Amino acid sequence: MTFAAENPAAVWLACVARPGLVAELEAVYLMIADQVAARGPACWASGRCCNFAKAGHRLYTTGLEAAYCVLRLPTSPPREAGLGQLGAREENHQEVGLESRPTLSAATLADAVARGDCPFLVSQLCGVHTLKPAACRVYFCDEAATQWQNDLSERVHAQIRALHDRHAVPYRYGEWRELLGLFVTEP
């Protein structure tokens, strides 16, 4: 598979349409859910972690994970039915309804960058909870979780990098909103 250096978004979208690759990525996400459940960190569902400017951090992820999210947004092109087993494992999180879920456009992305938050933050809740990247799944504001979060994050990133290698998927690790911008097609 060739790597489109300027904008590999189309390649990533094609990759996350492959059931085998998606199953492996979702297996990583399920492992994260199991690790988080075993530790029970506090999550106040306040949206603080999604307001990057106020929290003083940036969200980094891979292009493949951004494509996974984008392809499954309600306004995305038709896709394979269902999200595998992820929904069942995350059912206790209060997710905004599909009708409230934000869409990805140049305007919504620019607004999020101006506010300093995630374009999928809706009423202080994650609008893409079951679709979010590994970094969001691992991160908690709970200070008691810092060490194991760092360890889990490193382990997960290595697994996702290996997934790229096994499936010959172009690898790019970058800031969430910048990667999402690669999928926006309108001016």
Please tell me the distance from the alpha carbon of residue 182 to that of residue 106, in angstroms, as a whole number. 10
The model's pTM is: 0.80
Name 117's bridge partners: none
Averaged pLDDT, 49-67 = 86
CB 73 within 8 A of CB 128: yes
Closest C-alpha among 106, 156, 163 to residue 132: 156
**Rounded distance, CA 136 to CA 132, Å?**
6
Give the pLDDT score at 75.
Answer: 55
Q: How many domains does the chain have?
A: 1
Residue 17 domain flag: yes
The answer as to whether 3 is a domain residue is no
Look at residue 93 and tell me whether its pLDDT is greater than 50.
no
The mean pLDDT of 140-144, rounded to a whole number, is 68
In terms of pLDDT, which residue wins out, 98 or 15? 15
In a domain, 120, yes or no: yes
pLDDT for 5 beyond 90: no
Instruction: Examine residue 93 and state whether it is found in any structural domain, yes or no.
Output: yes
Say whether pLDDT at 24 is over 50. yes
Least confident of 18-27, 50-59, 114-123, 140-149: 140-149
Domain range for 39 is 9-181
Q: What is the pLDDT of residue 148?
A: 79
- Return the sign of the alpha-carbon dihedral for residues 28, 34, 35, 36: positive
Q: Residue 126 forms beta bridges with which residues?
A: 121
> Does 140 map to a domain?
yes
User: What's the whole-number mean pLDDT along residues 59-79?
Assistant: 80
Residue 167 within any structural domain of the chain: yes
Residue pair 60/156 in contact by the 8 Å Cβ criterion: no
Q: Does the pLDDT value for residue 165 go beyond 90?
A: yes
pLDDT tier, 144 (very low <50, low <70, confident <90, very high otherwise) = low
**Token pair belonging to 25:** 């990525």
Segment of 51-65, 124-138, 152-166 carrying the highest mean pLDDT: 152-166
Long-range contacts of 20-23 (CB under 8 A, 24+ apart): 20/167, 21/163, 21/167, 21/169, 22/68, 22/80, 22/84, 23/84
Residue 1 lies in a domain: no
* Helix 19-39 and helix 63-71, axial crossing angle in degrees, nearest 10: 100
Say whether pLDDT at 78 is over 60.
no
Mean pLDDT of 33-43: 81
Residue 75 CB neighbours (<10 A): 10
> Is residue 186 included in any domain, yes or no?
no
